[in-house]
């Protein structure tokens, strides 16, 4: 009954396939180093390169090296009756005999799970498949290395490691979250700078060259205003040719990294928001989404929430009092 937990621990700690763990011999520990040691093992499937080594932690019984050393020590006396170099020498209670080498290990695992009433996350009897422990080890190592393929692909080519050990269901949420974070970073990098009143002074004073400080001052004074924002690069638009005027419609500022939106522009932004909401009545849903959907999402979901409610309320009142002009392109 000691075999299942020892075998499970050894496979999870080293990442060795179960077949390799089963074939370990009493002379497998080699080339000790500070806190580490090599395990020599045989991988039958690696035609032409069956004999391999892996360096593992070494110390107390809670390390792979210490566990193997303890197994060798515990079975030393019995080996005079069962001549075998296989690491696994034990008394098999099922047939009441000494045995070297592992057979029917899944039967032993089932008895061990039942004897200890081990259950999974759903409270069902644990289904432990020893052949899958290597993937569990690899998944944990993938998380520890944060997906750094050069560190993760130990003993494999990066292509094999990625296909067989990184592209597994348990890691899919991590990959999807990483992709979502990457998209969020891209969207943030391409978005305008939104400055609430409390942020304007710190933005003005942050480390920058003198000419950049002067440009920021002119932006905050309104000297570079366009319709929905201030623009610090009207002739350097990411959507056009350098040196040429920005070719985007005026609401393109909502998707431009050159734009700076301050509280001064909120009345115009709110007036435009009201206008595009009114356009739902005259445009089909698909046409409205194509023309105004992104602008509406940016204003309602990112721009307005960045400002205090009192500032937004004051801007709404100003937008209602002043009949703000909208450029003709909004109605085209």
d(CA 106, CA 100): 16
Residue 318 contacts residue 267 (beta carbons within 8 Å): yes
Spans of all domains in the chain = 3-132, 145-190, 193-331
Q: Residue 193: count other Cβ atoms within 10 Å of its Cβ.
A: 17
d(CA 69, CA 170): 33
What's the token pair of residue 9? 């621990």
pLDDT, position 304: 93
State whether the Cα torsion 233-237-241-247 is positive or negative. negative
State whether the Cα torsion 228-229-234-237 is positive or negative. negative
pLDDT, position 25: 93
pLDDT, position 38: 94
pLDDT in tens, the chain (332 residues): 788 888 888 888 888 888 888 899 999 999 999 999 999 998 877 677 788 898 999 999 899 999 999 999 999 998 888 888 999 988 877 677 888 888 767 788 888 888 888 888 888 888 887 777 776 766 666 666 666 665 555 655 666 656 656 566 766 777 777 788 788 777 776 678 888 888 877 777 776 666 666 777 788 887 888 888 888 888 888 888 888 888 888 888 888 888 889 888 899 999 899 988 988 988 899 999 998 898 899 899 889 999 999 999 999 998 888 766 666 666 66
Q: Residue 61: count other Cβ atoms within 10 Å of its Cβ.
A: 12
- Among the listed residues 77, 79, 53, 81, the one whose alpha carbon sits nearest the alpha carbon of residue 65: 53
């Amino acid at each position: 009954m000691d075999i299942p937990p020892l075998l499970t621990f050894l496979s999870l700690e080293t990442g060795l396939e179960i077949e390799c763990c089963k074939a370990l011999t009493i002379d497998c520990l080699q080339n000790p180093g500070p806190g580490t040691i090599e395990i020599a093992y045989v991988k039958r499937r690696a035609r032409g390169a069956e004999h391999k080594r892996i360096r593992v932690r070494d110390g107390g019984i809670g390390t792979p090296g210490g566990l193997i050393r303890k197994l060798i020590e515990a079975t030393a006396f019995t080996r005079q009756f069962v001549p075998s170099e296989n690491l696994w020498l034990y008394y098999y209670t099922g047939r009441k005999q000494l045995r070297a080498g592992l057979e029917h290990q899944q039967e032993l695992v089932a008895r061990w799970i039942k004897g200890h009433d081990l259950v999974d996350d759903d409270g069902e009897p644990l289904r432990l498949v020893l052949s899958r422990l290597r993937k569990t080890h690899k998944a944990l190592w993938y998380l520890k290395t944060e997906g750094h393929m050069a560190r993760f692909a130990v003993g494999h080519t990066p292509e094999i490691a990625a296909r067989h050990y990184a592209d597994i269901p348990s890691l899919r949420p991590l990959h999807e979250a990483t992709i979502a974070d990457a998209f969020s970073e891209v969207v943030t990098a391409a978005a305008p700078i939104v400055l609430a009143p409390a942020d304007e002074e710190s933005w003005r004073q942050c480390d920058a060259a003198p000419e950049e400080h002067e440009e920021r001052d002119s932006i905050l004074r309104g000297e570079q205003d366009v319709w929905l924002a201030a623009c610090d690069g009207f002739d350097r638009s990411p959507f056009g040719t350098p040196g040429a005027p920005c070719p985007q419609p005026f609401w393109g500022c909502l998707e431009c990294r050159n734009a700076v939106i301050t509280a001064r522009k909120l009345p115009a932004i709110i007036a435009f928001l009201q206008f595009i909401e009114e356009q739902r009545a005259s445009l089909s849903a698909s046409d409205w989404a194509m023309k105004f959907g992104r602008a509406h999402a940016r204003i309602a979901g990112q721009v307005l929430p960045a400002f205090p409610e009192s500032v937004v309320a004051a801007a709404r009142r100003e937008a209602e009092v002043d009949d703000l002009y909208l450029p003709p392109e909004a109605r085209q």
